[in-house]
Amino acid sequence: MAVLVLAEHDNSVLAAATRNTVTAAAQLATGPVHVLVAGQAASAVAAEAARLSGVEKILLADDAAYAYGLAEPLAALLISLAENYDAILAPATTFGKNVLPRAAALLDVAQISDVTAILSPDTFVRPIYAGNALATVQSTDKRKVITVRTTAFAPAADGGAAIIESLSAAIPVPRSQFVGREVTRSERPDLTAARVVVSGGRGLGSKENFLLMEKLADTLGAAIGASRAAVDAGYAPNDAQVGQTGKIVAPDLYIAVGISGAIQHLAGMKDSKVIVAINKDEEAPIFQLADYSLVGDLFVELPKLCALLSGAQG
């Protein structure tokens, strides 16, 4: 079984999610694993992908049409390559979720979304109902099209030496056009790959108070997440949202501050190794799955915790 992985990148760096997807591909594959790097001036990404352990070949499609990762040209490219592969995988990130179903439909394949375990070449586990149930599904399609929940697979390490093969130019897709991007700049670790995540909720009360989360994150070298309520209220940017329809995280340590713990939020963080919840409402559902529950006023406890943490490092 030959597997193709669609790489996620920004034309200069390979996104961490690609590494987890390659691990899933290696579990599934009985034949070669290839990685498709489609971008513009993305040879550095191809070189990075070529070092991934377990990858045999990088397909580099370098063309202006692929510069911004738009779904239309990427899906067209994927279907032009599909006949060589038994499975096509992408990370279940906003990038993979946007592109892969389009390719699946063109291939007349039922995509299997957000796979958390591969049981056999045609049988997979995926969460449904915000992770309140796990479905084991068997695909009857000849070709498998799969998005991978990255937190369920370890990142592939370096150590490979894949060959890089260049593909011919793209067919332009003029009906979809990139206008611009407002990327949230942050020196912090990537939310989905961070070892420690601190998340704030509505309990913080204002955008100004949400800065307390910055202080906490600083002391831990953590990424900052947020509940939907905090994002809707404008305390935090949309890309910080953790939950069923936002980002899925599974860090070593997750600290939820002022988050009550709606089902939809828990879906995004309940696989974290250690969960801490700080909330003044002792009935908050988040306490039902927290390893350490601190019932108290976050405006009192959070500064104290920050002081202890910075003392510990100093």
Partner 1 sequence: MKILVAVKRVIDYNVRVRVRADGSGVETANVKFSMNPFDEIALEEAVRLKESGAATEVIAVSIGPVQAQETLRSALAMGADRAILIQTDEAVEPLAVAKLLAAVARRESVELAILGKQAIDDDANQTGQMLAALLDWPQGTFASKLSIENGHAIVTREIDGGLETIRLALPALITTDLRLNTPRYASLPNIMKAKKKPLEVLTQAELGVDITPRLVTLKVEEPPKRKAGVKVADAAQLFDKLKHEAKVI
Subset of 266-305 contacting partner 1 (CB under 8 A):
270, 273-276, 278, 287-296, 301-302, 304-305
Q: What are phi and psi for residue 208, nearest 5 degrees?
A: -65, -45
Write the CB contacts of 100 (distance below 8 Å, at least 6 apart in sequence): 6, 78, 88, 90, 111, 145, 146, 147
Q: Does 75 help bind partner 1 (rule: CB under 8 A)?
A: yes
> Which range, of 39-47, 158-166, 169-177, 198-206, touches partner 1 by CB under 8 A?
169-177
Minimum distance of partner 1 from residue 25's CB (angstroms): 20
Distance CA 96, CA 75 (A): 11
Name which of 37 and 229 has its Cβ closer to partner 1. 229
Figure out which of the listed residues 175, 208, 283, 314 binds partner 1, where binding follows CB under 8 A.
175
Minimum distance of partner 1 from residue 105's CB (angstroms): 4
Distance CA 1, CA 74 (A): 22
> Which range, of 55-63, 67-75, 155-163, 200-208, touches partner 1 by CB under 8 A?
67-75
Figure out which of the listed residues 1, 40, 86, 102 binds partner 1, where binding follows CB under 8 A.
102
Minimum distance of partner 1 from residue 118's CB (angstroms): 14
Report how far apart, in Å, the C-alpha atoms of 307 and of each of 206, 221, 223, 241, 277 are: 22, 14, 18, 26, 18
The site string for partner 1 over 106-145 (x = CB under 8 A, - otherwise) reads x-xxxxxxx--------x---xxxxxxxxxxxxxxx----
Instruction: Map the footprint of partner 1 across residues 203-262, applying CB under 8 A.
Output: 220, 228, 231-232, 237-239, 244-245, 247, 252-253
Figure out which of the listed residues 30, 180, 187, 208 binds partner 1, where binding follows CB under 8 A.
180
Name which of 163 and 304 has its Cβ closer to partner 1. 304
Determine the distance from the C-alpha atom of residue 172 to the mean position of all C-alpha atoms in its chain, rounded to a whole number: 28
Minimum distance of partner 1 from residue 50's CB (angstroms): 24
Dig out the tokens for 52 from the structure. 């991934």
Minimum distance of partner 1 from residue 187's CB (angstroms): 14
Is there a contact between 146 and 112 (Cβ–Cβ < 8 Å)?
A: yes
Q: Are strands 33-39 and 57-62 parallel, antiparallel or unpaired?
A: parallel
Residue from 150, 127, 137, 152 nearest 263 by CA: 127
Figure out which of the listed residues 12, 84, 166, 184 binds partner 1, where binding follows CB under 8 A.
184
Residue 82: CB atoms within 10 A of its CB come to 19
Is there a contact between 258 and 297 (Cβ–Cβ < 8 Å)?
A: no
Query: Helix crossing, 207-220 with 298-313: angle to 10°?
Result: 30
Minimum distance of partner 1 from residue 202's CB (angstroms): 15
Instruction: Map the footprint of partner 1 across residues 3-62, applying CB under 8 A.
Output: none
Sheet-wide strand order for 87-91: 112-115, 144-148, 87-91, 3-6, 33-39, 57-62, 163-166
Name which of 123 and 166 has its Cβ closer to partner 1. 123
Residue 53: CB atoms within 10 A of its CB come to 16
> Which range, of 48-56, 59-67, 168-176, 204-212, touches partner 1 by CB under 8 A?
168-176
# residues near partner 1 by CB under 8 A:
92
Name which of 118 and 253 has its Cβ closer to partner 1. 253
Minimum distance of partner 1 from residue 236's CB (angstroms): 12
At which residue do the structure tokens 């669609």 appear?
Answer: 6
